[in-house]
Amino acid sequence: MLVVLLLDQCLKVWIKLNMFIGQEYNVFGQWFIIHFTENEGMAFGFSFGGSWGKLALSIFRILAVAGIGYYLWGLTKTRTRSGVIVGMAFILAGAIGNILDSALYGLFFSESTYYQVATLFPEGGGYAGFLHGKVVDMLYFPLIQTTFPTWFPIWGGEPFQFFRPVFNLADASITSGVVYLLLFERSFFKKIEHKEEQPC
């Protein structure tokens, strides 16, 4: 968890202090691009509208992290397989990583714009209050760029791109943890379901 959090936050801070919104670097041709953007807090660049929506999302995330952390702590006290603990730890680390952006970046940084990079601890204060900061995204993998064939229903003739969303290491950590648990640890959750179904 500490490794994921450290890598995630170091990359985000570097991006904030060295790039302006929309700036990008080609890492591997047109397939892997570092593209700086920010969002209001949902994964893969999606937004949750308005100031109250942002606050509600931040509070929900904190409660979810507390619940996942408590559950993970309970798993470590039992003889749970290490794979389950690692998968849950990846999910928790990613969730904490994005919460740090939402909770603190608005306090610590000036606003990033399309023509100016942010500064750390600006004189006039940060660009937003507690729990109202924006999440930093930068990983962009437009692996396939093509056009739907004209005979294709609804989207025929329109451009198609995969993978379109821009995300960060925290998002990748959450997704990796969930995918790992679904693919390789389903038996653990089946045992829990079986125990719950047994009559008292």
pLDDT digits (tens, 9 = 90+) for 113-141: 999 999 999 999 999 999 999 999 999 99
pLDDT at 130: 92
Whole-structure pTM value: 0.83
Which residue in the list 40, 101, 137, 185 is annotated as catalytic?
Answer: 137
* Residue 171 among the catalytic residues: yes
Among 29-43, 53-67, 101-115, 180-194, which is the least confidently predicted range?
A: 180-194
Q: Is the pLDDT of residue 192 over 70?
A: no
Beta pairing class for 159-162 and 135-140: unpaired
What are the domain boundaries of the chain? Answer: 2-21+35-141+168-197
Please state, for a pLDDT cut of 90, what percent of the chain lies above it.
60
Which residue in the list 8, 38, 40, 171 is annotated as catalytic?
Answer: 171
Tokens standing for residue 86: 């690692």
* Residue 8 among the catalytic residues: no
Tell the burial category of 193 from Cβ atoms under 10 Å away from its Cβ (0-12, 13-18, 19+): exposed
